[in-house]
Structure 1
Amino acid sequence: MKKFNWLLMLCILACFTVKAQDDSMKKLREEAAGKIKNAEKDTTGRLWKTGGTFGLTFNQGSLTNWAAGGDKLSLSMLATVNAHANFNKGKHNWDNNVDLAYGYVNTTSLGTRKSDDRIDITSKYGYEIAKNWYASALFNLRTQFTEGYLYPTDSTREFVSKFFSPAYIILSPGVDFKPNDEFSLFMSPFTGRWVVVMDDTLSAKGAYGVDTGKHVKSEFGAYVSATWNKEILKNVVYKTKLELFSNYKHNPGNIDIFWTNIIALKVNKWLSANISMDMIYDDDVRVFENKETGALGPRLQVKQTIGVGLTATF
């Protein structure tokens, strides 16, 4: 009988011990879950999201005793930087983007020539007035780093551009339609644009539409900017930016077009391939000769590049 009482007490004690352990483990799990939820809330609640990519492409080719002919040596390099800093809190949205590119090509027969040169800075603030619609204000600056030339022949060149010659500055209030983080359509019927040509030589020629001897031309018109950034296939991203501007003060039917397209193929963490095409039509850039009439006038400008190289994401 005594043995039975001892066994009963031991069983009761064991039950209390197991129950206490279960309660302790449950409490620990609840505390851990609370900490995880708090950590997730802190991470996803960031007001600023920053990041970007850096790309460096280098190509080299050489020929020795090559019957088909060609340049003995060719070298090319292209560096690109795309960085962003975006703020989001409640109804407030502020997007900032910097797009930089610079490239050179060197060949035995033609020497050194610039293949790419771009500075493009955009800042856009919006306040949400309806679902996916924002009352916005946009600032954009587009220019280049160094001097640029046209090459009428292989042995001659013509100076046509440099830093802030030209530069295009846009200030625009409008509305922005953003259904998601991939697409944005900004529209404004009242936009101020300034064309800046700081170089005296180019200014004296009235380059890029400025009055002869002047350094700044002001324009007023309608402006539309559409951007789309989408992973269309696995490890394949398509980025495009289309800008349209109509100058109310002069030939409003001649719409200026700036369109940038990039397809980025990610090979691995560090290597990628890029295909880009830029198209520009500016009615004030009348430096292209019509071979049939000999007259100078505007033309659709097209720039296309293909490269494989190093890519770093930060």
Structure 2
Amino acid sequence: MKNVFVLLFVLSVQCVLAQPDSLFVKKPIKHDIKPKWTQSNKLGFDLSEVAFVNWNSGGSNSISALLGLTSNLGYKYKNFSWQSVGTLRYGINKQQGQEVRKTDDVIELVSNMGYRRDTLTNWFYSARFNFKTQLTNGYKYPETSKPISQFMAPGYLFLGGGVEYGKNIEKLSFYFSPMTFKSTFVLDEALSNAGSFGVTPAVFDADGNVIVQGQRIRTEMGILFTNSFETPVYENINLINRLSLYTDYINSFGNIDIDWEVLFNFKVNKYVKTSFGSHLIYDNDVKNLEATEVEGEYEKNGARIQWKQLLGVGVVVGF
């Protein structure tokens, strides 16, 4: 994973160096005379459907829907800035002959405060808070009797401080924190006893009875590096890149947790848009779980790269 870390870091730097030189030119910026609040909200709905009637090549009727809500609240005054973004996404898919299946499920809140000593510098002293979980149970389909994830199982919390570089924090940002506190919550009893998502599993006796309950909260302290930027690549085509790299000081230092998302937004008109994206995750603490025939028991396999691809057409409304 160290080689992957180096590759992703180089790619991120190259993407930024490819931006116009004006991004890196220091220009005096006037102080805001008064505190300035900004708020924006976006509600999006994507829908895709396939239907077949007497189709010789065969096929299965299906329909998919994805609902997304993003709320952005910002505050600026002189050299101080604060930005918070809340995200909610939920997607489902229904295919002929199958039950409704979940395709996306995210609740996330990111809050970032920054302070710089003057208006000429692009360096900020920064503090960051991030919380993420999901709404409903997740399953390893077609098995739906035993969930492999639930609300707050897992839940992730990051809290730390460091430095951030960015002429425009909303569009371009490099953030480095040498001290970031990470908590992993697994509040479901069966999943915590199984040691899901890196928590310490329960201790069982010879008959399978629980002697010591599994750990519900796992805490870590480590290094966090993030890179995010948003840029137009062509008329009505916008690119968003988000990369997060984390390693824990105590547990397997140098083993990198990766969260990398790339999204292309194609604007058709004011309300209609198309999205194409990729989301890659690797966390060595997240082992692949297989439900067993015994109620409440899981078989744990090794960590695997998680990858999701997104393609959708829908409407988006700002308010």
Band of TM-score, shorter chain: 0.7 to 0.9
**What corresponds to 1:83 in structure 2?**
71
**What corresponds to 2:45 in structure 1?**
56
Name the SS of the counterpart of 2:81 in structure 1: strand
Shift in alpha-carbon separation, 1:288–1:211, aligned structure 2, 3 A: closer
* Residues 1:299 and 2:300 are matched in the alignment: no
**Amino acid corresponding to residue 310 of structure 1 in structure 2:** V
**What corresponds to 2:196 in structure 1?**
207
Identity %: 32
What are the within-5 Å matches in structure 2 for residues 145-294 of structure 1?
145-151=135-141, 154=142, 158-180=146-168, 181-212=170-201, 213-287=214-288
Q: Distance in 2 between matches of 1:245 and 1:108?
A: 41
By percentage of residues, which structure has more helix? 1
RMSD: 2.1
Shift in alpha-carbon separation, 1:45–1:233, aligned structure 2, 3 A: farther
Q: Which runs of 5+ in 2 are unaligned?
A: 1-29, 202-213, 291-298
* Residues 1:143 and 2:133 are matched in the alignment: yes
**Amino acid corresponding to residue 114 of structure 1 in structure 2:** K
**What corresponds to 2:58 in structure 1?**
69
Q: Which has the higher contact order (CA 8 A, sep 6+)?
A: 2
Q: Distance in 1 between matches of 2:99 and 2:181?
A: 40
Q: Distance in 1 between matches of 2:73 and 2:236?
A: 23
Shift in alpha-carbon separation, 1:303–1:63, aligned structure 2, 3 A: same
Listed one character per residue, the Cα deviations across residues 83-127 of structure 1 (whole Å, up to 9, x for unaligned) are 211111101010111122110000013321111111121001111
**Amino acid corresponding to residue 145 of structure 1 in structure 2:** L
**What corresponds to 1:14 in structure 2?**
none
Of 112, 119, 129, the residue aligned with 2:107 is 119
The alpha carbon displacement at 1:44 in A equals 10
Listed one character per residue, the Cα deviations across residues 18-56 of structure 1 (whole Å, up to 9, x for unaligned) are xxxxxxxxxxxxxxxxxxxxxxx9x99660111132110
Shift in alpha-carbon separation, 1:44–1:116, aligned structure 2, 3 A: farther
The alpha carbon displacement at 1:157 in A equals 6.3
**Amino acid corresponding to residue 301 of structure 1 in structure 2:** Q
Q: Distance in 1 between matches of 2:193 and 2:253?
A: 25
Q: Distance in 2 between matches of 1:231 and 1:100?
A: 24
**Amino acid corresponding to residue 214 of structure 1 in structure 2:** Q
Name the SS of the counterpart of 1:203 in structure 2: helix
Name the SS of the counterpart of 1:129 in structure 2: coil
Q: Distance in 2 between matches of 1:84 and 1:57?
A: 21
Q: Distance in 1 between matches of 2:307 and 2:178?
A: 28
Name the SS of the counterpart of 2:190 in structure 1: helix
8 Å Cα contact 1:165/1:198 also seen in 2: yes
Shift in alpha-carbon separation, 1:55–1:109, aligned structure 2, 3 A: same
**What corresponds to 2:122 in structure 1?**
132
- Structure 1 window deviating more from structure 2 (215-224 vs 294-303): it is 294-303
**Amino acid corresponding to residue 61 of structure 1 in structure 2:** V
Equivalenced residues, count: 266
Rg (Cα) greater in structure: 1
Shift in alpha-carbon separation, 1:155–1:243, aligned structure 2, 3 A: closer
Listed one character per residue, the Cα deviations across residues 195-244 of structure 1 (whole Å, up to 9, x for unaligned) are 00011111110100111211100001000111111122221111121111
Q: Distance in 2 between matches of 1:203 and 1:234?
A: 49
**Amino acid corresponding to residue 64 of structure 1 in structure 2:** V
Q: Distance in 2 between matches of 1:108 and 1:270?
A: 31
* Residues 1:104 and 2:92 are matched in the alignment: yes
8 Å Cα contact 1:206/1:214 also seen in 2: yes
**What corresponds to 2:8 in structure 1?**
none
**What corresponds to 1:313 in structure 2?**
318
